[in-house]
Chains A and B, each alone.
Chain A
Amino acid sequence: MKRLTTLPRNNWQTAVEDLGFGFHTTNVPYWDESVYYEMEMSEVLLIEKATAELWDLSLGAVQHVIDNNLYQKFGIPDWFIPQIEKSWTEDHPAIYGRFDLCFKNGEIKMLEFNADTPTSLYEAGIVQWFWLQDFDKSKDQFNSVHEKLIAYWKYLKTYLNPGILHFTCLKETLEDLTNVEYMRDCAIQAGLETKLIFIDDLGWDSDTKQFLDLEGEPVKNIFKLYPWEWLLTEEFGKNIIEDSNRAFWIEPAWKMILSNKAILPILWKLYPDCPYLLAAYFEEGKLTNYVKKPLLSREGANIDLVMKDISLQKTEGIYGAEGFIYQDMFTLPNYSDHYPVIGSWIIGQEPAGMGIREADTFVTDNQSRFVPHLIS
């Protein structure tokens, strides 16, 4: 894995905007093609293998949480447990997830699993692919995101409730909308009937006990780029279990278990021999150098890096009330003071490609930049 600098395309802003990628620059550039990473095929194969294995272990860990009724460790409310278990035992449709991996000196360690609302799908699947077409068509990329999404939506089609598949996210965030519209694009290409509705426009009919879209059509299947923990604490949360349509929510409720950092100590307890896992505990004091993470933090908020009782870096944020876990410190590799984290996609049941985000510190936050890669 090498970090190489290069000249951005002359018209890169227009080039990526033509692909529908409108959030490439906020107050800091997000999409950065002045840099790319060159991966060797053997490295890509290693990432692919680790991703497949981590996915298998993750499923085993979900079963363990359910069998041993460990929901309390995740801060999951009791009233929602039956819904989680139903979605698991009935195998409700799920489509994707993204492992955040640290790849250093030939070793791969999982930092966390974004199993419920992973983003940067469009950058990984489309934007960096078209960059490669302009940059060097003869090269390949670890990237089958697009065709795997279409193929898996085709496969899921028969498992969905008859009717429309709604797609939803928050209003007012172009990044989320782009991710959702991209996902919907793939579903359309898979032959599904779809509709977009913003999450705050969803209606609830208390007589018929169903969710309705803006035209009054009942919601039977809904892909949400909106975390379960937010849904459950909101006014309509409890309606989900009263829903007369028994709508499929994608990602399904059991993904709440995997997207919660409490899964990290559980994975470690179950699979201490797995080379891709870092030691992790619910209790403080078992590790000398560790990263303290809130159960539900997003975008690197409220992370505390501690080495021998001294805090090296601490980020601010609004998370932590729900509790913390302690994970062995395995710092990101340093490439000229840039720290890349690998987002490795699982689509359906298979590894599907990767995207690299680069930060200027050990914590990958919302100031990090997405940079493309190619296979040498």
Chain B
Amino acid sequence: MGMKKSKYVELVLITAALASCNQPKPKADWDDNNKVHLRSDTTAPYTRVHHNGGMGIGTALLWFYAFRPYGNYRNDNYQRAGYYSGGISPMSNIGSNGFKGSLTRGGFGRGGYSVSS
């Protein structure tokens, strides 16, 4: 019989931290016709950003397109390579910045808002 539950259940991650987050929801009234062009590197070309069901400026969108710093550890030193955003075209994250080199980000994750099934 596999169902008897042990009497001690422990969680090690501070999952309560999750509970304090709000879940931003896509706004239904996003305007389909807003054209937004973004780039994460001044040496990179702007590209039009696309989004499921439309575009607009709202908290959810700003969060989605958040530009985050990234870099590499080399010889125990952290070097910032620049900024990127998962929400924009990889082309606009690279530019001619040599340090970023062959690394692109944002090639996954356009699937939607939740996988829940």
Contacts and interface: CB of A to CB of B under 8 A. Distances in A.
B23 A169 contact: no
Interface of B: 1-6, 9-25, 60, 63-64, 68, 70-73, 86-87, 90, 101-117
Given A172-B60, A185-B13, A188-B13, A204 B107 contact: yes
A17 interface: yes
Nearest to B10: A189
A231 interface: yes
A126 B19 CA distance: 14
Interface of A: 17-23, 26, 44-45, 48, 114, 117-120, 126, 129-130, 140-144, 146-148, 169-178, 181-182, 184-185, 188-189, 198-208, 212, 214-216, 225-227, 230-231, 234-237, 239, 298-299, 350-353, 366, 375
Given A48-B3, A117-B115, A142-B3, A212 B15 contact: no
Contact of B5 (A20, A140, A170, A201): A140
A119 B117 contact: yes
B5 A144 contact: yes
30 contacts: A19-B11, A19-B15, A19-B16, A21-B15, A22-B21, A126-B9, A141-B3, A146-B5, A171-B63, A172-B24, A173-B23, A174-B18, A174-B22, A175-B23, A175-B114, A177-B18, A185-B11, A185-B13, A185-B15, A200-B108, A201-B105, A202-B109, A203-B103, A207-B102, A212-B103, A230-B111, A234-B108, A235-B107, A235-B108, A239-B107
Given A170-B111, A235-B90, A202 B105 contact: yes
B108 A199 contact: yes
Contact of A200 (B13, B19, B22, B109): B109
Contacts of B21: 22, 174, 177
Contacts of B4: 140, 144
Contacts of A48: 2-3
A147 B101 CA distance: 44
Contact of A170 (B1, B106, B112): B112
Given A142-B3, A198-B109, A181 B103 contact: no
Contacts of A172: 23-24, 60, 63-64, 113
A224 B1 CA distance: 30
B99 to A, nearest CB: 11
B60 A206 contact: no
A175 B21 CA distance: 11
A234 B13 contact: no
Contacts of A117: 115, 117
Nearest to A238: B107
A200 B115 contact: no
Nearest to B109: A200
A20 B16 contact: yes
A181 B15 contact: yes
B50 to A, nearest CB: 12
Contacts of A236: 107-108
Nearest to B21: A174
Contacts of A237: 108
A19 B10 CA distance: 10
A220 B2 CA distance: 32
B11 A126 contact: yes
Nearest to A114: B117
B13 A198 contact: no
Given A200-B110, A203-B103, 13 more contacts: A17-B19, A20-B13, A22-B23, A26-B23, A129-B9, A147-B5, A170-B113, A176-B115, A181-B13, A188-B13, A200-B109, A205-B103, A366-B116
Contacts of A198: 86, 109
Contact of A171 (B5, B72, B86, B102): B86
